[in-house]
Structure 1
Amino acid sequence: MAKSMTKHPVSSADTLKQAWQDLRADHPHMRIRDAAATLGVSEAELLATDCGNRVTRLREHWPALLGAVGTLGPVMALTRNAFAVHEKTGLYEDICPCGDMLLISGHHIELYLSTGVWHSGFAVMEETHLGPRHSLQFFDTGGEAVHKIYLTEYSDAGLYRRLVDIFRADDQSPNLELPTEGTKSALDALASSQDLPEHWRRLLLVHTTEAVLAGRIATPALRELMRQLAELLLPIQVLVGNPGAMQLHDGPIQNLKITGPWFNVLDQGFNLHLNEMAVAGADIVQLTYQQRDLTGLLVRDQNQQTILTIVGQFDEADGENVLWRDLLKALPVIGPG
């Protein structure tokens, strides 16, 4: 795998493209994210080397471009960080500015996109064993992927081709220059916004100093909690984010599967992949919201960064789902965090 290889930083686009071709010849199933890490460059820089071939650089008109995605029909939205991948299939229907952010909602889709840190976007065609796969891929100022949109069998391919033509950038060179400034956290920016819808406000509050740490659970207890949630079909909210995007699943989970280090939720319309090897523990946090108790679970990595967030269903009249709270209280706590 890529993590066992030595990194070889590569400079020019032509040299980088050749190095990637050589790497794929030796490792045909290697993902581009792992290939970029092996070659010592960002995923965006590696992808850009194929501009003019299977990759088309897009103009940086993010609100208009994302608005046009709503015409494509059902698509698969993918948001990830280093250790979790969140995939939802649905419609990009309503786009609403919220400060420097974009709130996107639709049938089975809930997104908050911090497009202020987006730097580049591409239309990508990949050859797979099922045939060509088309996607729109967006990257931050560090060249890290923040959000990807994949066509499904129900998407309108003709309208997709028209979208790519409309938003095609004049510059299709294989070189990609990245800025030197850092990327701002979407969570930090959103926490101070006065325009947040209530369900997003609740989700973000569990990440603030208003939330009190009640205890930490280990990975086996997290697995057991997910099993119980699936068995009960208890509605929950599952959030995965990175500095440029946050993606939400709102509903129950059902089909669980463990594959190597990955804990997976494999439901129709929703997939979650969590690398358990990276999980240091999960923090149970509590706070008061609108004079009612609110309890969240923050899955942390070895650096205490949040990989994913889980909260229970919240009703404006009745407050938090009592069964969700009781399930958390019954978990074996290993320490204060």
Structure 2
Amino acid sequence: MKPHHRFVLALSGALLISALPAGAASLTEQYEALRAAQPRLALRDAAAKLNVSEAELLAANGIGKTVTRLQEGENVPREIMRRALDLGKVMALTRNENGVLERTGVATRMKPQEVVTGLDADKEKEREARMRNIAGGYLGGEIDLRFTFKNWKYAFAVAQPGKDGVIARSLQFFDQYGNAAHKVYVRSEAGVPVFDKIVADFRNPVQSADLKVASASAKPAPKPDSAVDVKEFQQAWNEINDVHQFNRLLSEFGVTREQGLRLGPADKVRRIDPLAVRQLLEQAAKRQIDIMAFLGNDATIQIFSGKINKVQETGGYFNVLDPEFNLHLRDTNFVSGYVVKRAGVVNVEFYDKDGREVVSFFGVRSREQPVPQAWIDLTATLPTAGASRQASN
């Protein structure tokens, strides 16, 4: 479609919305007018244009038709996800503002856990918190997820015709602000009766579109760099012997993740061009290097592990478009990237203008190759931030 045609359609949608009588334009009416003008507009993007959350638009447009509101409660999301292990083959979708990770496969189940005793108070507290965020599986394997269920609020079952007329079934979860936490799409006929049973068992007795979504509060300003004992912070970084200790280090010094990278030891952090994500993915595909991609939000982190093949730019995103794995990155919104070394592990992280991590990558480690040399070599080729501009001067 030609650019001026797209503009005319977008303008027509805006005029249709504004032409509705004051007070008469319901959210559904506004959405239908917008869809008429921009039929390919994703629900999330439509919600942004209408100044509502995705959860509110989904509920307003679908409850009583294609959407069933499910129960709420502290333990409900975990129990629904536990039951979702019975769906078999699914597509798991996790997203944030500038990235989407979609993985198709079958989630693994946890083996029965032995009773653990003798832990000190801190480790026992960590273990209890970890167990509260485990839904009986999803650790490793094709569908690899990490949950923070306290940030899950609303749940819906969606059953609507797809482009081919076939009913598409999904479980969709949102946080208290109406932002998508995680989505699970049924990908097998065997999963249909399981989906229907989940809907019946967790159906909310009140099928209301009134969600009472909370307004997002402003995040506190980060601690000024001048208030951080950088020397001590760098020394503590150098003493890390496990990559998982990094979050605790940030907490102890009261710094944000990106701030910690900016202030880290010079031999442990290298700032790279944010568009280096394209080179990273292209080279990983070309050299067939096994990678891990971590992408998430405050409610869910999803992890892909393996080789990638087809990468290309399309639809305003830079993408991995493989049969069982899709990654969509709005990398033009990336403002910083880092190659990071912690406890012998090297990874690459990318951030947006608000200092939020969009996606991070690791090399796939094994007992035979705890430090994958092919991955180390790839990260070394990524352009340092400003290098291309300096070279052209």
TM-score when normalising by structure 2: 0.72
**Residues 74 and 154 in structure 1, CA contact (< 8 A), matched pair in contact too:** no
d(CA) in 1 for partners of 2:159, 2:24: 19
Ranges in structure 1 where 5+ consecutive residues have no aligned partner: 185-197
The 3 A distance-change label for structure 1 pair 99 and 158 is: closer
d(CA) in 1 for partners of 2:216, 2:338: 31
Query: Does structure 1 residue 221 correspond to structure 2 residue 276?
Result: yes
Report Cα offsets for 1:137-195 as digits up to 9, x if no partner: 000011001101111145521221111111111110121112457599xxxxxxxxxxx
Q: Partner residue of 1:253?
A: 308
Ranges in structure 2 where 5+ consecutive residues have no aligned partner: 1-5, 114-128, 220-240, 251-256, 388-393
d(CA) in 2 for partners of 1:172, 1:13: 23
Query: Does structure 1 residue 201 correspond to structure 2 residue 244?
Result: yes
SS of residue matched to 1:231:
helix
d(CA) in 1 for partners of 2:375, 2:311: 18
Q: Partner residue of 2:171?
A: 136
Q: Partner residue of 2:352?
A: 301
Report Cα offsets for 1:280-307 as digits up to 9, x if no partner: 232111122xxxx111101121233211
d(CA) in 2 for partners of 1:168, 1:14: 29
1:44 positional shift: 0.6
Q: Partner residue of 2:30?
A: 19
My pick for the range that moved more, 275-284 or 96-105, is 96-105
Q: Partner residue of 2:68?
A: 56
Query: Considering only aligned residues, what root-mean-square deviation do their CA atoms show, in Å?
Result: 3.3
Read off the aligned partner of 2:47 and give its amino acid letter. A
The 3 A distance-change label for structure 1 pair 150 and 168 is: same
2:46 aligned to which of 16, 35, 38: 35
Q: Partner residue of 1:174?
A: 209
d(CA) in 1 for partners of 2:65, 2:271: 49
SS of residue matched to 1:315:
coil
**Residues 215 and 335 in structure 1, CA contact (< 8 A), matched pair in contact too:** no
Read off the aligned partner of 1:262 and give its amino acid letter. Y
SS of residue matched to 1:325:
helix
SS of residue matched to 1:332:
coil
SS of residue matched to 1:130:
coil
1:64 positional shift: 1.4
1:88 positional shift: 0.6
Q: Partner residue of 1:125?
A: 159
d(CA) in 1 for partners of 2:69, 2:384: 49
d(CA) in 1 for partners of 2:132, 2:46: 32
1:146 aligned to which of 181, 197, 222: 181
SS of residue matched to 1:76:
strand
1:28 positional shift: 2.1
- After superposition, residues 42-121 of structure 1 pair within 5 angstroms as 42-49=53-60, 50-60=62-72, 61-94=76-109, 98-102=130-134, 104-105=138-139, 107-121=141-155
Q: Partner residue of 2:231?
A: none
Q: Partner residue of 1:240?
A: 295
1:20 positional shift: 1.6
1:228 positional shift: 1.4
**Residues 168 and 185 in structure 2, CA contact (< 8 A), matched pair in contact too:** yes
My pick for the range that moved more, 166-175 or 221-230, is 221-230
The 3 A distance-change label for structure 1 pair 200 and 147 is: farther
SS of residue matched to 2:107:
coil
SS of residue matched to 1:314:
coil
The 3 A distance-change label for structure 1 pair 117 and 183 is: farther
Q: Partner residue of 1:333?
A: 384
Flag the structure with higher helix content: 2
d(CA) in 2 for partners of 1:200, 1:149: 30
Question: Which structure: larger Rg?
Answer: 2
d(CA) in 2 for partners of 1:236, 1:160: 32
TM-score when normalising by structure 1: 0.83
- After superposition, residues 305-320 of structure 1 pair within 5 angstroms as 305-316=356-367, 318-320=369-371
1:116 positional shift: 0.3
d(CA) in 1 for partners of 2:183, 2:366: 31
**Residues 153 and 175 in structure 2, CA contact (< 8 A), matched pair in contact too:** yes
The 3 A distance-change label for structure 1 pair 35 and 305 is: same
Q: Partner residue of 1:321?
A: 372
Q: Partner residue of 2:330?
A: 275
SS of residue matched to 1:93:
strand
Report Cα offsets for 1:69-113 as digits up to 9, x if no partner: 111110000000111110011223326971542362364011011
d(CA) in 1 for partners of 2:359, 2:34: 32
Q: Partner residue of 1:231?
A: 286
**Residues 274 and 385 in structure 2, CA contact (< 8 A), matched pair in contact too:** no
d(CA) in 2 for partners of 1:312, 1:174: 44
d(CA) in 2 for partners of 1:319, 1:226: 21
Read off the aligned partner of 1:52 and give its amino acid letter. G
Read off the aligned partner of 2:147 and give its amino acid letter. L
